[in-house]
Structure 1
Amino acid sequence: MVRYSLDPEKPTKSCKSRGSNLQVHFKNTRETAQAIKGMHMRKATKYLKGVTLKKQCVPFRRYNGGVGRSHSRINPYMSSPCHIEMILTEKEQIVPKPEEEVAQKKKISQKKLKKQKLLVPE
């Protein structure tokens, strides 16, 4: 059974996704996740497309020291098993109350109007 580290606030309005033992760069994945954390879905996809097209960049805030070349002193630690969890929650939309409408008069057909005129005594 899969156990998530975090339960969503509204389970009925959320979806969860999880990947285990993914061979990815841990540091790159962590910084990308921090960059899109809290974004709306459309904004996040637009941002990531900009990153792949090299129009925008992902800021490295934690793992930014010593990112240069090692000049063969050590082997690259490029990929390690990484576990990724993603939880998407639907945004709550506030719908304004409709204004109270003035009671409209019922439309009366021409046929009924003629009958009423004939029945009215003069």
Structure 2
Amino acid sequence: MLYARDFASTCRIALVGGEPAGFVIGYRRPADPSCLFIWQVAVDERFRGLGLAGRMLDDLLHDDVVSPPVRILQTTITDDNAASQQTFRSLARRWNDAPMVVTPLFESAHLTHPSDAAHHEPERLYEIGPSM
């Protein structure tokens, strides 16, 4: 709710039959407002396969009301999240076959406290944009 309140111009919610079906949470990078960082994309399992994630992302990229226009999109994805990787590869293709560069950002040691039993996979930075 805080993201929707404070970053409404960079968040989206999908409704199907008036029911919340998914959301995208993002923000403009303070150092570069033309860069949109996507923090979370989620679609309720009942509504997967309808292209909702892609449509919400497309809507953010092509929002003519917000200035400056998005020229770079960033997100982080773990190596084991094939669905997210495919969502952003598809986005790059739809965005005029924009280049996509994947680089290391956070390694497991950055994300997992030594006392935690759970292990967090490394997060790779995905940068997409025709203006890169």
* Fold equivalence (TM over 0.5): no
Q: Report 1 or 2 for greater relative contact order, CA contacts < 8 Å, sequence distance ≥ 6.
A: 1
> Normalised by the size of structure 2, how large is the TM-score?
0.20
Query: More strand per residue: 1 or 2?
Result: 2
